[in-house]
């Protein structure tokens, strides 16, 4: 490795420099990508200093474990992630994605040194990830974690350049449409006990439909959170194993007024000693069963929506109902627990309007322009 910095030279108005790779013994030309000598000097010094850093033949698997653990990667904790959003929840999610990533990488490649990784190896990993997860958001996150980790390996001097540089992200294909259930449909389903696997399932459905609680918040509920007609939402499960409890999403604790129907359901559901006493998987199975039975009812307006029933769909449904009712978005956002600065974006994604919801608009047009107005006289549009 060179002990002094090489000289810069111009080619087509862009600065380059040459150095000797101590591992291969070959002379390498590198482009700084800039025509500014000051910036080119900084890039060149950064490159040479990184190569001079302590290097080891760390394997890809060992590096991923090191990268995702905040205790062994202070750069991840202190620099890349700010103190506000690097929470225990974030750490768990990144570690979980790393496990998913490692499960997609062939054992032989896991044992491969970072120095020996090629661009083709990374592309093959991307193919394996797609085969396991499909074109989903999960696949995008897992592959992006691989690329980001290799970029930091290059920044920290473990490799000279990331083999993933310039590779495109995995594009997630949009999932099936998420619906908002009609209030009339929900009332019909609540009135039919035989649609539910048991009374416990009916009460849980009632709470989800009338409070908009997230799945993690619902499963972590205790009786201590209820004070009179108010519910303090200050607990949520942080992972699917239901072993870690922390603050709700955004670390936002809220106190909401409970509708009477939700109060009655929670009184029957919660005991002083225990919460709901069900797992996330059981909740999903119960709701799937309810949705399939509800979709078979002749009086249901949107059977296709019930076939895709999830806790999150009930949250979308409640938001849509409240917005159509005319309540201010700020009150709805506080009740549902969103970041106020993202209010418009979140509301657009959570609201699902149909032709039936737009009937008041059609009625208003008839009132303004219809032939029946003004005692049967034709309305003059210029009057408005």
The predicted structure's pLDDT at residue 207: 95
Residues 137 and 236 in one domain: no
Query: Is 171 part of a structural domain of the chain?
Result: no
Same domain, 40 and 122: no
Residue 291: predicted pLDDT: 95
- Comparing CA positions, the residue from 206, 204, 203 lying closest to residue 186 is 206
Tell me whether residue 359 is in a domain. no
Same domain, 328 and 200: yes
Provide the residue-wise pLDDT of the chain in tens; the chain has 384 residues: 344 678 899 988 899 988 776 666 677 888 888 888 888 888 888 777 666 554 457 888 888 888 877 666 655 544 444 444 445 555 666 777 788 888 899 999 999 888 788 888 999 999 999 988 888 888 988 898 898 888 888 777 677 778 888 888 888 877 667 789 999 999 999 999 999 999 999 999 999 999 999 999 999 999 999 998 999 999 999 876 677 888 998 888 999 999 999 999 999 998 765 678 888 889 999 999 999 999 999 999 889 999 989 999 999 999 999 988 888 888 888 898 876 556 666 777 778 877 777 788 788 877 877 766 555 554 443 443
Is residue 168 a part of any domain in this protein? Answer: no
Domain annotation covers residue 362: no
| Domain co-membership, 250 together with 124 | no
Residues 110 and 243 reside in one and the same domain: no
Q: Are residues 199 and 338 in the same domain?
A: yes
Give a yes or no: residue 67 inside a domain.
yes
Identify the sign of the CA torsion 326, 332, 336, 342: positive
- Domain-located, residue 86: yes
Q: What is the extent of the structural domain holding 285?
A: 183-353
Whether 110 and 193 share a structural domain: no
Instruction: Tell me the torsion sign for CA atoms 98, 148, 48, 71.
Output: negative
pLDDT given for residue 73 in this prediction: 65
326: left (phi over 0), alpha (psi -120 to 50) or beta: left
- State the pLDDT at residue 89: 53
E strands along the chain, which residues?
8-11, 14-20, 27-31, 226-227, 230-233, 236-237, 245-246, 254-257
The two three-digit tokens of residue 366, written as one number? 């008839």
Q: Which of 210, 196, 202, 198 is nearest to 294 (CA)?
A: 196
In a domain, 110, yes or no: yes
Q: Exposed e or buried b for every residue in 144-165, given b needs 16+ CB within 10 A?
A: ebbbbbbebbbbbebbbebbbe
Count the domains in the chain.
3
| Residue that terminates a domain, selected from 138, 155, 172 | 155
Q: What is the DSSP string of 195-214?
A: GSSSHHHHHHHHHHHHH---
- Partners of 232 in beta bridges: 255
Residue 330 burial (CB count, 10 A): 10
Instruction: Verify that 214 and 341 share a domain, yes or no.
Output: yes
CA distance 353 to 149: 42
End-to-end CA distance of the chain: 81
288: Cβ contacts below 8 Å, ≥ 6 apart: 309
Whether residue 374 lies inside any domain: the answer is: no
Which CATH number fits the domain that encloses residue 337? Answer: 1.10.443.10
Are 209 and 275 within one domain?
Answer: yes
233 lies in the same domain as 305 = yes
Same domain? For 288 and 348 the reply is yes
The beta-carbon contacts of 264-271 under 8 Å, at least 24 apart in sequence, are 265/203, 265/204, 265/206, 265/207, 265/210, 266/207, 266/221, 266/226, 266/231, 268/199, 268/203, 269/200, 269/203, 269/204, 269/207, 269/221, 270/221, 270/222, 270/223, 270/226, 271/223
Whole-prediction pTM: 0.56
For residue 307, what are its two tokens? 């076939």
**In this predicted structure, what is the pLDDT of residue 76?**
53
From CA 174, how far away is CA 298, in angstroms rounded?
30
Paired tokens of 282: 């059981």
Q: Say yes or no: 44 and 70 in one domain.
A: no
Residues 255 and 231: beta-carbon distance below 8 Å: yes
């Amino acid at each position: 490795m060179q002990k002094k910095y090489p000289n810069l030279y111009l080619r087509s108005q862009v600065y380059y420099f040459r150095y000797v790779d101590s591992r291969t013994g070959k002379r390498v030309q590198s482009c700084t990508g800039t025509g500014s000598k000051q910036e080119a000097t900084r890039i060149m010094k950064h490159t040479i200093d990184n190569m001079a850093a302590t290097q080891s033949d760390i394997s890809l698997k060992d590096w991923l474990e090191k990268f995702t653990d905040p205790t062994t990667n202070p750069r991840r904790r202190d620099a890349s992630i700010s103190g506000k959003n690097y929470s225990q929840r974030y750490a768990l999610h990144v570690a979980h994605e790393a496990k998913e990533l490692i499960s997609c990488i062939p054992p032989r490649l896991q044992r491969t040194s970072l120095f020996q990784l090629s661009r083709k190896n990374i592309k093959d990993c991307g193919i394996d990830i797609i085969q396991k997860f499909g074109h989903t958001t999960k696949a995008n996150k897992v592959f992006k974690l691989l690329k980001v980790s290799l970029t930091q390996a290059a920044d920290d001097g473990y490799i000279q350049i990331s083999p993933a540089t310039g590779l495109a992200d995995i594009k997630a294909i949009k999932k099936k449409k998420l619906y908002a259930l009609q209030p009339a449909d929900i009332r019909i389903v609540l009135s039919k006990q035989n649609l539910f696997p048991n009374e416990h399932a009916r009460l849980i459905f009632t709470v989800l439909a009338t409070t908009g609680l997230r799945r993690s918040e619902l499963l972590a509920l205790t009786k201590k959170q209820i004070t009179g007609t108010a519910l303090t939402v200050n607990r949520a499960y942080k992972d699917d194993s239901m072993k870690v409890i922390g603050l709700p999403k955004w670390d936002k604790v809220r106190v909401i007024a409970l509708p009477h129907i939700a109060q009655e359901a929670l009184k029957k559901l919660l005991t002083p000693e225990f919460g709901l006493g069900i797992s996330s998987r059981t909740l999903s199975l119960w709701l799937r069963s309810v949705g399939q039975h509800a979709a078979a009812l002749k009086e249901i307006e949107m059977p296709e929506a019930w076939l895709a029933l999830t806790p999150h769909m009930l949250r979308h449904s409640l938001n849509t109902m409240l917005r159509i009712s005319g309540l201010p978005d700020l009150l709805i956002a506080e009740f549902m627990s969103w970041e106020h600065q993202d209010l418009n974006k979140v509301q657009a994604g959570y609201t699902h309007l149909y032709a039936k919801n737009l009937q008041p608009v059609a009625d208003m047009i008839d009132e303004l322009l219809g032939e029946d107005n003004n005692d049967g006289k034709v309305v003059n549009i210029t009057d408005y």
